[in-house]
Amino acid sequence: MISTRNPFKRTAMSVAIVAAAVVSGTAYAGVTDKDIVQDAATPGDVVSFGMGTQGQRFSALDQINVDTVKDLVPAWSMSFGGEKQRGQESQPLIHDGVMFVTASYSRLFAIDVKTGVKLWKYEHRLPDGIMPCCDVVNRGAALFDNLVIFGTLDAQLVALDRETGKVVWKEKVDSYKAGYSMTAAPIIVKGMVISGVSGGEFGVVGRIEARDAKTGKMKWVRPVVEGHMGYTFDDAGNKKDNGVSGTVNATWPGDLWKTGGAATWAGATYDPETNLIFAGTGNPAPWNSHLRPGDNLFSSSTVAINPDTGKIVWHYQTTPHDGWDFDGVNEFVSFDYTDPKTGKVIKAGGKADRNGFFFVLDRTNGKLLNAFPFVNKITWADSINLETGRPNYTKGGRPGDPSESKDGKKGEVVFSAPSFLGGKNQQQIAYNPDTGYFYVPANEWGMDIWNEPVSYKKGAAYLGAGFTIKPLHEEYIGALRAVDPATGKIVWEHTNYAPLWGGVLTTRGGLTFFGTPEGYLRALDAKTGKEVWSFQTGSGVVAPPVTWEMDGDQYIAVVSGWGGAVPLWGGEVARRVNFLEQGGSVWVFKLHK
């Protein structure tokens, strides 16, 4: 799709920064495992996706608060430039005076965080045949030692020198010709880079991989489609069987597990307290569920993996036998809360699933603690059975079997809500321990959906379904909602005309920040939902904001650039918001003094 070159040139600014460090006697100290584990507690940087390995996206900074936010103004903005616009879903990382931010078409920028001056840019050379399902997006990088590591649309992991942008190592994850790609931000756990794969619409096999972050050499791989073998690798690269995921054919018929989907396209979180990696898994392939009777483990699930062994410790399936492309890939956020009945502190995790239900699990064992709707209309299930953990399916809620139709080509059409783009999709939730609320960027939409015959062909779309997405209301689609995980109550909501597609940041200053496709970065009172500030960035915001402190000032940053899955797959919704303009830039704000 693109063919560009990496200039690999150190700019005068980067030379000056290195020289200043030498003169002052402060050599650069690389990002360590300790830095990453403590990210949420260190306000001077952002070194992990999620602003902490648990993914809470909460900051204890309070200089910018409900009283002072009115004075928040731009400090600088930098354009990604060129003609490579499309969706910009990246979360910036900030360390030692430099911001690292990815952009569409597998680009990565290093920026002087004080001035907004570009230090260097890396542009990955992409082949013509890449097949990303949902725009040419990238959600961010990982930092470790002196490396900046990110995944590319042709399914490679690339590690760059943080000072120069030069490639230190590069590893092929899988074949882009078979539909594999990478869009998620990797994370670092115990010196290993943890990454997933995209491509569920092409019948790939979802998995989580662990590599030595300094060398790129494989440590272990864990497939998340039942029946596939996991492996560990020694220092010489020799692999050893590490047990089958699940049991062959236990929940998949015939050979369909071999191309079962369950792509891990949104990445993972890590909880040091339980020493578990939590990864969401995507839709089973194909979408036509009548071809694959059974629960189809471990698709549309959360899996907990031990990073030391690469084995699945527990799993919870949010949509067994998924027939609506609901996935289960949404992030699992660790948090603690006090049980109102017993007074006991529970080590829990929260997940706003694409299927429209919010799930609260015991993160030590995967036991379901609570499940409740966070959208207003759900047609595929009445509720989640809190005893069995399984959905109570509605009669007639599943699209019909095409083999039972007159012509055998199109099954019965059903209207389903949410749409397959979900009650929540890639846009990240946030948890504020001060309020006890999760902040969920939700969407109210539905779809006409039907099944069709389909067979697997390498590199071809593997759906077996058709669909048209429709808004449920004239006034709004998006709604940022404050959700109490203990009670299941929606405390307040802030509606938006267009769908919400960007993540959330919440702070001790009593604020919750989020962006809109219309281009606004907004701040709400975290307790009441009242809007207290907004700024127009010039293009749609479909990325999560971050905050940090530098030289006594608190900063907010967000990437702007409309795109992602909505304009590509959104049907009537895409036509409703076709007036929105593309872009590509990063904005940084501070208080005017």
* CA gap 461, 25 in Å, rounded: 56
Q: In what order do the strands lie in the sheet with 229-233?
A: 187-189, 192-195, 207-212, 218-223, 229-233, 239-244
Residue in 325, 401, 407, 551 annotated catalytic: 325
Select from 221, 256, 251, 220 the least CA-distant residue to 321.
251
Select from 9, 158, 2, 142 the least CA-distant residue to 85.
2
Q: Which amino acid is at 258?
A: K
Q: In what order do the strands lie in the sheet with 167-172?
A: 142-144, 147-151, 156-161, 167-172
Cα→Cα distances 15→9, 99, 162, 163, Å: 10, 16, 13, 9
> Catalytic site residue 325?
yes
User: Do the Cβ atoms of 547 and 555 come closer than 8 Å?
Assistant: yes
* CA gap 391, 262 in Å, rounded: 19
Select from 123, 264, 104 the least CA-distant residue to 195.
264
Cα→Cα distances 477→106, 441, 572, Å: 30, 11, 12
Beta-strand ranges (E) seen in 197-263 are 207-212, 218-223, 229-233, 239-244
39: region left, alpha or beta (phi > 0 left; psi from -120 to 50 alpha): alpha
- Active site positions, annotated: 325
